[in-house]
């Protein structure tokens, strides 16, 4: 069965420092993987997607993620955090013929 | 394009009352979804509609019904609201990749 585990429920960084949000997936086959962002009192917005093309995926607002099959990971990174990055981030897995699986979310706090 | 719209934005119900949450999308997407979001639980799928005229249960369908009125509209009905249905409800649509979803702004429902 598919599952998605976001390893940190809360990450705090200072503005201008790197961001790392960790996600591990479990699937019998290579799934499609996504990161979504949710700003306070807003709906979710797609940040980036992996669909078995390039393993390093670039998204919006300077975020990127690397698919590592050997580690079953799809961690989200950004070289330099901005105050506007403070939000909740969801790692999502999809496999054809099944439902989307959402991780429980990681709250990113950015301090000045 | 408005994307995905939801009405109402906020609602307070008494236990046992009924209501319908409305969702519409103007992106000509085939698939539409209803989720609920609760603290620490991520998003959980209530119902989805892969195409006009079809609906299927998701992870937490009990206490809800849906109608895919046409390609644009997908409504969620609570027949007899319970306090456990206090949540934020999101509608989403996608086409063609189910993982690449577009979300509405949400409806914050409180049942007292």
CA dist A50 and A29 (Å) reads 14
Whether the per-residue pLDDT at A78 is higher than 90: the answer is: yes
Query: Tens-of-pLDDT digits for all 112 residues of chain B?
Result: 779 999 999 999 999 999 999 999 999 999 999 999 998 778 899 999 988 889 999 989 999 999 998 999 999 999 999 999 999 999 999 987 778 899 999 999 999 9
Q: State residue A3's pLDDT score.
A: 87
Q: State residue B102's pLDDT score.
A: 92
Measured in angstroms, the CA of A111 and the nearest CA of chain B are apart by 23
Residue A66 banded pLDDT, cuts 50, 70, 90: very high
CA dist B61 and B54 (Å) reads 15
User: A26-64 pLDDT, tens per residue?
Assistant: 877 778 899 999 998 888 999 999 987 788 999 999 999
The β-bridge relationship of strands B107-111 and B10-13 is: parallel
C-alpha angle B44/A96/B25, rounded to 5°? 55
- Contact by Cβ (8 Å): B52, A107: no
Q: State residue A27's pLDDT score.
A: 74
User: With an 8 Å Cβ cutoff, are B43 and A34 in contact?
Assistant: no
Q: How far, CA to CA in Å, does A59 sit from each of A4, A27, A79, B28, B55?
A: 20, 23, 13, 24, 32
Chain A residues in contact with chain B using a Cβ-Cβ cutoff of 8 Å = 9, 32-34, 41-46, 49, 51, 90, 92-94, 99-100, 102-105
């Amino acid at each position: 069965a598919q599952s998605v585990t976001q390893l940190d429920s809360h990450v705090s960084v200072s503005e201008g420092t790197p961001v790392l949000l960790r996600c591990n997936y479990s699937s019998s086959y290579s799934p499609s993987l996504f990161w979504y962002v949710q700003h306070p009192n807003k709906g979710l917005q797609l940040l980036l997607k992996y669909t078995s093309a390039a393993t390093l995926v670039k998204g919006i607002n300077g975020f990127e993620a690397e698919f590592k099959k050997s580690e079953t990971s799809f961690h989200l990174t950004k070289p330099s955090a901005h105050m506007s990055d403070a939000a909740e981030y969801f790692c999502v897995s999809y496999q054809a013929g099944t439902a989307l699986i959402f991780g429980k979310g990681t709250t990113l706090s950015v301090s000045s | 394009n408005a994307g995905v719209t939801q009405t109402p934005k906020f609602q307070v119900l008494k236990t046992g009352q009924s209501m319908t949450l409305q969702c519409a999308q103007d992106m000509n997407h085939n698939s539409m979804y209803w989720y609920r979001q609760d603290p620490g639980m991520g998003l959980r799928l209530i119902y989805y509609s892969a195409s006009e005229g079809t609906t299927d249960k998701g992870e937490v369908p009990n206490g809800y019904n849906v109608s895919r009125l046409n390609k644009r509209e997908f409504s969620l009905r609570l027949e007899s609201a319970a306090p456990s249905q206090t949540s934020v409800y999101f509608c989403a649509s996608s086409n063609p990749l189910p993982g690449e979803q577009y979300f509405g702004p949400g409806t914050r429902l409180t049942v007292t």
